[in-house]
Every structure is written in structure tokens, then in C-alpha cells.
Amino acid sequence: MPDATSPLGAVNTEVDVNNLYREENYTDLKIGSLQKLVPVKADGSEDASRPARFIGQAQLMTQYGPIPISAPIDAGTLEEACKKFPEALEKAMDRLAEEAQRRQVEEASRIVVPGKDLPGGGLTLK
């Protein structure tokens, strides 16, 4: 176990053998990809007592370059996940846009105080 002087500090690095998943990836080579997380037991066999999980992934092209977007998809099958992919990614993009707006408002509301906290009387952002 790492101690406080190691790079991981006091982080628990033990693998939870009761929550293991095998990753399967599917793509149409155009829009994005679907990741299926299949629950498995510690011996690698499938764990039918837990449901599979699906995650939709795509890239949003912006003037600053591509931004990766991922969203959980509530689906029981790959076919259902494919059908729900557009809505899940749209919701993820909406959340991303809301977060960007919130950060923009926070940044715009920062107060500049002359001479505070800097040697030589420079400007400080609060």
C-alpha cells in the first residue's frame, strides 16, 4: 500500500474484484462508438447477476480542436443502445454547453482589486 510520500499518497489502489467489467467496443466508423461494459467475476467469466452498461462516445469538433464527449446509455442490448445513442450524446452536449456558460459567467464575475496581495502593488484577481 502506498504511503503519504508516494505519488499516489493515501489513495486506495486495490482492485474491487466484485465490480469488474470487460470492455467491448463497437463503431460505425462515422459518428462515434459504443462501449459495452460486460460484468465479469474475478475468474473472468460473465456475471449474469449484474446488467451490462453502455457508454456512447463521440468527438465534437470546435475551433479549438476536437472535444471528446461520452454519455451513459440506459439500454439492455446493443441494438437499443444504438437507437438511444443520438439522444444520450445530445444531452451530454447540452450539459457541456451549460458548464461552459457557467464557467464563463464565473470568470466574468471575478473582481480585480488594485494593489492587493502582490508585491509592488500589481493587480490581483479575486
> Hey, CA dihedral for 70, 74, 75, 79, is it positive or negative?
negative
As a whole number, the mean pLDDT across the chain is 86
Prediction pTM value? 0.71
Quick check: 36 pLDDT over 90? yes
- Band of the pLDDT at 105, cuts 50, 70, 90? confident
* pLDDT 10s digits, 44-58: 999 999 999 999 999
